[in-house]
Structure 1
Amino acid sequence: MINLQRRIIHAPVTALGSLLERLAGPGDLLWPVDWEPLRLDRPLSAGATGGHGTLRYTVTSYQPGLRVRFEFAAGSPLEGFHELWVRALAPDRAEMVHILVARPRGAMLLFWPLAARWTHQALVADLLDNAERAVTGRVRHPARWSPWVRLLRAVIPVPLAEPAP
């Protein structure tokens, strides 16, 4: 499966790149607070390990201010990777992109199409809202959780205060 989400933001690529550099660290303005925290065992760099919720992954590639790739850990319910990157479109306009390229395994074969896909897309939309808000001061078209995502979040509450196992 491939899941791609992107947002064009009216700001220089360097502004978005500085947000990317703080991902999972102090002053992280990207990761949405309404979701399980993204935690890494060290500052964002190649070799850092961690994840969010029960998903574990390793940073396998990191270009500061441009791109980070996370590969899912062996035994994970997903086999593959996800990336977040930024690219300049004009001096005052850039794009932030998140792509998930993975194969579900085990229970995730059923869980992905029923629940995980929808909550994943909502999380990334919230992250893109955060990026736009951080560099422009507003969000032109804020993401809205679908009724299905709101129901899933009510039935499967997200622990926000504790680090991921």
Structure 2
Amino acid sequence: MIRNLHEREIVAPVREVGLLIDSLASTDDRLWPRDKWPAMRLNGPLGVGVAGGHGPVRYFVSEYVPGRYIEFEFTRPEGFNGRHSFTAIPHEADTTLLRHEILMSTHGTARFTWPLFYRPLHNALIEDCLDLAERDCGSAEGSPTSRSLWTRLLRAPISAQLAKRRARSVGRPTEH
């Protein structure tokens, strides 16, 4: 069983941090760093049964408690059996623990792709989410999380693709 856990103490009340979770995959997504990563997209507003994903990872919402908790069950990549979640946990006075957790088992080629490719990219993505949450709530205490050379190499094609999309969108006329 794989357990991958990321947590950050955010200096903000749980209701404020919960709003970040509730904004996932919306046009006003305040938790997912879509300027650095493929956007999280869902086929409807947050709710149990809504499906979507980001990049090659696919899932559906299996549990949702607005303002507190969302859980997604993996449907892709092949061999990912489990779920991932975001949780806002009340902590000390006006602080909240924002947690992202993966609980899954792998089989087939996923036994190799998870540790070699998906895990380092996932870890960097979630740390960027937590950095974004801190900045949004006004509690950022330093520079963004640094990345290993391996993660930077894995991210190079993603960064290039996002840069091309930004360049194309800059040249588009806006509608009034």
With normalisation by structure 2, the TM-score equals 0.84
Q: 1:93 to 1:141 in 2, by over 3 A?
A: farther
Instruction: Mark the structure with the bigger radius of gyration.
Output: 2
Report deviation, 1:137: 5.5
User: Which stretch has the larger CA shift, 19-28 or 131-140?
Assistant: 131-140
Return the structure number with greater helix share.
2
Between the aligned partners of 2:65 and 2:77, the Cα distance in structure 1 is 27
Between the aligned partners of 2:106 and 2:5, the Cα distance in structure 1 is 16
- Residue type at the aligned position of 1:3: N
Q: Given the alignment, which residue of 97, 108, 120 partners 1:118?
A: 120
**Mind listing any 5+ residue stretches in structure 2 that lack a counterpart?**
166-176
- Residue type at the aligned position of 1:149: T
CA contact (8 A) 1:129 1:139 kept: no
- Residue type at the aligned position of 1:104: T
Bigger relative contact order, structure 1 or 2 (CA pairs below 8 A, ≥6 apart): 1
Q: 1:10 to 1:139 in 2, by over 3 A?
A: same
1:6-45 correspondence runs (5 A): 6-33=7-34, 34-45=36-47
With normalisation by structure 1, the TM-score equals 0.90
- Residue type at the aligned position of 1:67: Y
Report deviation, 1:75: 6.9
Between the aligned partners of 1:110 and 1:90, the Cα distance in structure 2 is 40
Identity over aligned pairs, percent: 38
Q: Given the alignment, which residue of 49, 64, 67 partners 2:66?
A: 64
Between the aligned partners of 2:136 and 2:47, the Cα distance in structure 1 is 22
Q: 1:141 to 1:87 in 2, by over 3 A?
A: farther
CA contact (8 A) 2:70 2:85 kept: yes
User: Which stretch has the larger CA shift, 54-63 or 72-81?
Assistant: 72-81
- Residue type at the aligned position of 1:37: A
**Mind listing any 5+ residue stretches in structure 1 that lack a counterpart?**
none
CA RMSD of aligned residues (A): 1.7
Tell me what 2:98 maps to: 96
Report deviation, 1:91: 3.1
Deviations 1:109-165 (A, max 9, x none): 1111112111100000000001010011634353111111101112x436445xxxx
